[in-house]
Amino acid sequence: MPARLIDGKAVAAEVLARVRAAVVRLTAGQRPPPTLATILVGDDAASQIYVRNKRRTCEEVGIGSRSHNLPADVAQSRLLELIGALNAADDVDGILVQLPLPPHIDTTEVIEYIRADKDVDGFHPYNVGRLAQRIPALRPCTPAGVIELLCHTGETFYGRDAVVVGASNHVGRPMALELLLAGATVTVCHRFTRDLAAHVQRAEILVAAVGKPGLIRGDWVRQGATVIDIGISRLADNRLTGDVQFEAASQRAAWITPVPGGVGPMTVAMLMHNTVEAAQRRRAR
């Protein structure tokens, strides 16, 4: 039987509805809305689209949006100065610096300069460390969105064999920490993994986060597995595709995310969720 599709658009819409309701509660009595500041450096076309989408979603759910567009040759010191001002601004709850940054910018310094309690991407080492220590604060958006999707399928995690393919700082690694926190037995595969197929074949929960079209062959997928495809690449014919061979994998998996329309919408929804959470935590102090 072909796999059931995990509808990321529908689950994201549910998350956004909860965010909207939380914003209504937070703004009762004329209080200011939770507010997200986004910083875009340069004119990379894909980044422009992503940031526009984030700013528009803020408007849709009632979150305040402050937009900062800086030129591609901005000095590191100028970028840090802006982040410093946003760190200190009482009316800013979340700060997002769109990545990648131009090569002359030290991305690590930028991420670490954002106040951890305003780091709505969940990229700051404090937030990643909290996740690693099972006391999550602001969680990286894409991995947290994947957990939402998995919960939606009725997936149980305790003792299940989960395999994450891809070990990036912002997706693969925190994804493994999320699955570990949820109780799965987690394997992380990366460029030095010797027998990728053997690991994939064991996975009851398979998460692919590499960005290489079709890297995961459909016939490697375990019968009845839940397959989450975070990879998204544009083919020569302009179609978007994931890391997993979708058609063949669908013949074996029980559940699978489409690309597009699977994990993608969850990242922005979880960013909105984190912005509300950051505002709630700051106002509770």
6, two tokens: 């995990």
Query: In 77-229, at which residue ranges do the beta strands (DSSP E only) sit?
Result: 94-97, 161-165, 185-189, 205-208, 226-229
Catalytic option among 93, 117, 119, 121? 121
99 binds ligand GUN (CB under 6 A): yes
For residue 153, the Cα-to-chain-centroid distance in whole angstroms is 19
- How open is the CA angle 210-214-215, to the nearest 5 degrees? 50
Q: Is position 9 annotated as part of the catalytic site? A: no
Contact indicator for 96, 38 with CB cutoff of 8 Å: yes
267, two tokens: 């990242």
List the interface residues with ligand GUN, window 41-60 (CB under 6 A). Answer: 50
141 binds ligand GUN (CB under 6 A): yes
Q: Is position 90 annotated as part of the catalytic site? A: no
96 binds ligand GUN (CB under 6 A): yes
- Output 3 or 41, the one with its CB closest to ligand GUN: 41
Q: Which residue is nearest to ligand GUN (CB)?
A: 99
- Output 24 or 72, the one with its CB closest to ligand GUN: 72
The residues near 213 (Cβ < 8 Å, ≥ 6 apart) are 231, 233, 235, 241, 242, 243
Which one among 57, 257, 267, 275 touches ligand GUN, defined by CB under 6 A?
A: 267
- How open is the CA angle 200-206-212, to the nearest 5 degrees? 75
Q: Is position 118 annotated as part of the catalytic site? A: no
Draw the binding track, 121-140, toward ligand GUN (x: CB under 6 A; -: no contact): x-------------------
Catalytic option among 54, 93, 119, 245? 54
Distance of closest approach, residue 208 Cβ to ligand GUN, in angstroms: 16
Footprint of ligand GUN (CB under 6 A) = 50, 96-99, 121, 141, 267
